[in-house]
Structure formats: structure tokens, C-alpha cells
Amino acid sequence: MNLTDVCPNKARGKSRKRVGRGHAAGQGKTCGRGEKGQKHRDTIPPGFEGGRTPLYRQLPKLRGQTNRAHNIGIFRQEYSILNVEQLNRFRKGTTVTPEIALTSGAISKLNDGLKILGEGELKKALTVRAHAFSQSAREKIEQAGGQVEVIEA
């Protein structure tokens, strides 16, 4: 490194604009805010919409994450879904539980529980243990000679 390589730090950037220091400085009197008007006088609060009722006050029922607001609240249960058709991968007479369905790859993850839906046909007699069943899934499992057991959480 030589003395000729030394230069000012470019990352420092420009110095701030000094406003209100006279007409000759370029930003005197109105300090770059123009003449009169709302923006000239003071700051405008965030969310201000020119005097009309703001959007966050027009939609009171959407405020917060409650069970009332679009049913996205803390009491909603998110089930992992498994159709009756997918139960054909298990051997006849197997007891299918959420843990077995997870290890076999029938479901990718176990959320709040396992729900069996009635899409497709079941060709084997299985004992299925899950947290919830649709009415058609319950009928198809029992019609194939299997049993339905509800897991109480």
C-alpha cells in the first residue's frame, strides 16, 4: 500500500441537508416544503386517508385473530387428511394408526390429528384408528369388513 492509494471513505455518503439557514443556502424560508398546505405544516399520521374513514376502521370484524374472524382462530383444528383409497397400501388385517401412516409415507406430517375421508374404494379389511372420520369413510371401511376406532385426544 502506498500513500497514493489513500482516499476518503466512499461509504460515508453525503452530509445531511441543513435546512432553514437562509435564502442563500438554497433551503431557506420554507425549507423545501413548498407553500402552505397540509404537508407543509406538520406530519401526517400513518394510515391517514384525507379525512375519510380509514380502512382499518371500515372492517372491524377482520381485526385480530379471533375465532370469529374467518375462523382462523386458536380453536381451529388442522387435521392431516388420508383418503380410503390410500389405505389399500397396507396389508390385510393391519391396524392403521397415525404413527404407522406417518412412517409408511401415507401422510407427510401429523398436524392436530388424522382424519379419514371417503374418496375411493377400500378392498381390504383393516382396523383404522384415527382422530376423525367422515360418514362415507366410516361406511366404506365397515363395508370392506374392517373396524373404525376413534382416538380421543
Confidence of residue 14 (pLDDT cuts 50, 70, 90): confident
- For residue 7, the tally of other CB atoms under 10 A from its CB is 6
Report domain extents, the chain: 20-76, 80-150
pTM of the predicted model, to two decimals? Answer: 0.54
pLDDT score of 97: 94
Select 80-150's CATH number: 3.100.10.10, 3.40.50.2300, 3.40.50.800, 3.40.50.300: 3.100.10.10
Residue with grid cell 492509494, as numbered in its chain? 5
Express each pLDDT in 33-78 by its tens digit.
888 888 888 888 888 888 898 887 887 655 565 655 555 556 678 8
Max CA-CA distance within the chain? 95
Q: What is the pLDDT of residues 85-142, one digit of tens each?
A: 999 999 999 999 999 999 999 999 988 899 999 999 999 999 999 999 999 999 999 9
Looking at residue 149, its amino acid is E
User: What is the C-alpha to C-alpha distance for residues 74 and 65, in angstroms, rounded to an integer?
Assistant: 8
Q: Exposure string (b/e) for 63-85, b if CB count within 10 Å is 16 or more?
A: eeeeeeeeeeeeeeeebbebebe
Spatial contact of 56 and 63, defined as CB atoms under 8 Å apart: yes
